[in-house]
Amino acid sequence: MSQSTATPAQHDASTQPSVVSFWEAFRFWLKLGFISFGGPAGQIAIMHAELVERRRWISERRFLHALNYCMVLPGPEAQQLATYIGWLMHRTWGGIVAGTLFVLPSLFILIVLSWIYIAFGDVPLVAGLFYGIKPAVTAIVVHAAYRIGSRVLKNHVLWAISAASFVAIFALNVPFPAIVAGAALIGYLGGRIVPDKFKAGGGHGKVDKSFGPALIDDDTPPPEHARFHLSHLARVLAIGALLWAVPMAGLSALYGWNGTLTQMGWFFTKAALLTFGGAYAVLPYVYQGAVGHYGWLTPTQMIDGLALGETTPGPLIMVVAFVGFVGGYVKALFGPDMLFAAGAVAACVVTWFTFLPSFLFILAGSPLVESTHGDLKFTAPLTAITAAVVGVILNLALFFGYHVLWPQGFAGNFDWVSALIALAAVVSLFRYQVSVIPLIAACGVSGLVYQLVL
């Protein structure tokens, strides 16, 4: 999409851009919500191109300073980065608007797509598309494990942590929160015994490149609202606690603590605090709870939901909206005549409790981060957690591969067509670096052609 009004940055790269109004920023954040494809890496690249290079609203160093903080937090780092920059530019409401608009378009799109999927999933057209998309999703998860592993697993200690986490979740069915806690403890102790083994590997790094004077430049002092005040921190935490407790209490009063919507709110609150390493890391936990424990959806539906999440804008963790919609729809929470309403409400409830912590982390912690422009480092516990995440993601890939290649279980037939599609997807990702959207589109068409010919 092209910008209708040229910014000063486009006319003269040697002068500082003029002040950006709240509504000009609002239009950009709305646009970003509709074009933020490609997962966190793609979304961060889009924001860098638009905000650092083209519009020069923020300098390279300040952008990376904010990104380093968001990378340390649990939650979707790209959405948190948008919230951070929106807050830095236009106070609390700027952050809320930026973070909300990053999520809102994908929520509406996913509600519609989830309804089409659950209501018309048996239609040959839809079934054929998903037949080809599922092997692609398996390849994408394998590639994600490789990407994170190549960045993080820099020595034999981190490799051992990754392998142990894989065995723990694959063979012993250890809950994901326990794996995270164990890895954090190992990192905490290891960082003091052998600190060199727990230095963060890779990351986004530092770049000294300049694209000209920026509105928020390297030496721009933090605005008054970005200065740390203990009273501000207490106020944000108190409001955040109310925004969590009041809806939770309302759901509990209406449906009981064991009601589906109440349990969705509680479960996805926990999930939101465990998303170290991004959406791929928390998906095994969501699977353990949503599929294994609560039965909100089936393993096949979980794979299909990830496929939908990959093909829509917004953070990949928005797949939780699909989980909520299917759970609410299938369980007919409001009766058989209000299936869509039940699914839509459940999707909104899940989204609220998943993203609320992300806003609180930014609005509460950013003033403290802005008080220094020194580079943030991954701590040893977080490095160990990220290493463990690689093993967890590999387990997720095997889980997806099993359900795609042996749809009736090992006792059934091996699906060689799905295997060929998955192999082609792996080659496309690893050898030719094909982006996710064209890959899923090509695989979906392949599956549709095969199903129609068959």
- Rounded CA-CA distance 135/137 in Å is 5
Least confident of 22-31, 181-190, 228-237, 370-379: 370-379
Query: Can you tell me the mean pLDDT for 80-97?
Result: 94
- 71 compared with 294, residue with greater pLDDT: 294
Looking at 39-53, 232-246, 341-355, which range is the least confident one?
39-53
pLDDT higher than 60, residue 5? no
How many whole angstroms separate alpha carbon 255 and alpha carbon 249?
Answer: 10
pLDDT at 207 over 50: no
Is this structure's pTM higher than 0.85? no
Q: What's residue 442's pLDDT?
A: 92
Per the model's pLDDT, the better-predicted residue between 10 and 145 turns out to be 145
pLDDT at 351 over 90: yes
Mean pLDDT across 416-428: 94
Residue 87 pLDDT exceeds 70: yes
DSSP-derived secondary structure letter, 274: T
Q: With 70 as the cut, is the pLDDT of residue 369 above it? A: yes
pLDDT reported for residue 416: 95
Whether pLDDT at 17 is above 90: no
Domain extent listing, the chain: 18-100, 101-201+230-453
Mean pLDDT, range 77-100, rounded to an integer: 93
Q: What does the alpha-carbon distance between residue 286 and residue 225 come to, in Å, rounded to a whole number?
A: 37
> What's the average model confidence in pLDDT over 271-279?
72
Average pLDDT taken over every residue of the chain: 83
Q: What is the distance between the alpha carbons of residues 130 and 161, in angstroms, rounded to a whole number?
A: 35
**Which residues are 15's β-sheet partners?**
none
- Would you say residue 152 has pLDDT above 90? no
- Please list, in sequence order, all residues whose beta carbon lies within 8 angstroms of the beta carbon of residue 430, skipping any fewer than 6 positions away: 143, 146
Question: Residue 209: pLDDT above 70?
Answer: no
pLDDT surpassing 60 at residue 200: no
CA distance 296 to 114: 14
